[in-house]
Structure 1
């Protein structure tokens, strides 16, 4: 503009502190916050990728990032190694792509036009460091999402060797490969690293004290990852649910209620987490370059029994079919804390639980 004789005094970046409900052009007051150059949800100013871009443009006149803007990337998704290499675009590598979380990341990357390459547990065994180095070295992803893990809390009590091979040694291998090839990393942990003695929401700085083999493996995995890659992002989450996983508590409970069968539920209190929202929020943090341990779950807490009764009411089923049960009656062998609600000092709470449950119930009923 100055070359054309127009005086340019300043460039204003909007919105600096984020905005509410602009995804729907403020047509409804839903309280949906989208960060700007800073995310203010924690009560402090957290710089995002936009802040980094502003600084770089102000200093150098340009900025480069594999994604650039979290919600408006212009590149088409790179879906395999050949595409990413020929386009010169570095994808996100999604490990554990056949699981609930891995599939959610694929869908969110597609929706946000973020290039990705996905591998299932059968395609890549993360317990093999040499295989990981080969794959990551060939793909050169800008980031890796480790959604691969040993997930059976009860089976882990009898199979602790396999559990630790995946959740500790495998996670450390992924971190080693990311550090070796300069890739950002996000890996996932659990609310089960806590023992429930606190009885108020656990935040990132609270001391871990897992009760089960699975919980111990997740905490040891956190430590192993951060030892190999100090800049890694570790997400602790809780009781996640969605429509695409037919084995999660919400979908199974709806099926039992629909058939008129009794639903036995634990009275342990958790913070249920909607998987698509978790994937979106994690992608935002990954793009922003966030590091360390973060808690990502819904801001609300309720017991599994209360969750089942809420589902019954939303779907129009009899909530008297839900009955409280002890861990022994439910056949649990891995100990669960009576309270494992996740809070956060770092911000980024996920959407309100009722809205997420309503969306899942509506989809489930339309698919019947």
Structure 2
């Protein structure tokens, strides 16, 4: 029996994907070798590479103007690459600091150029997001947001209108989980290890007009323009991670696409939040309701002792990965696309029983 894996990342993968990886690991489609040992210049891999890009474009409804790029280094590398490529000398970028990951992006951007923080959630301990009247600098090089804070459990439900200023978003933990107004964004990037596949690859979607700003003075690997021109084959890409991403995207399409993922996400998160809100205070979630994440549900029990007891009993029932981030504590249920609805309902049932027995 497979366990319900609520880990924040690397995270649960769809069972049919794992089974296909198992079946093709040694001999990929009768080619006599594994994709693990396949040249990235071969026709065998070229088909995988191009299908993955095509599926990404189809599922997110990307226009031709938005180019898909595969990169190593995960989303963390993008914290440096974004300002290196787009933080124009003589300008500042606007950044929304909504939690732990936004703070990391801010820290790296400050080392490269001028940054203006237009919102900092520190006063509310990162439990709120900017309101619609937040003012963005019309002369900014770009505006950077984090669409979902994996650690803090916040998620943007509507995105800011930044006019002619490029909007850039780190969507590592909620990409492919809800339909996107793609036209609002000049760049989206995401590490794969939550909703797209295994660790080892990041995806960047960049508008061609923004790519024109990549400075030629940058070294090759750090230049998005070079990766776009070479179809993400300037250097050896993370071949096997991209292959698994292709299988995950095929699975998303077969389930009904991003719209179906969004419907299921609401059902899964709704089941957990209902137990939190109906527990009479036994469970608590610090995030304002309108900003609660459907990907990462954070909650606490009345004491650390009960937190530990909850986690121990949940693990005994084959529910793992529920411990909160090490610097935060409490509990966190990550409900990425591959988490079955049954997993969320099982957790919700356990929460109800645990509260009744320990409240």
Q: What's the TM-score, normalizing by structure 1?
A: 0.30
The TM-score, its normalising length taken from structure 2, stands at 0.31
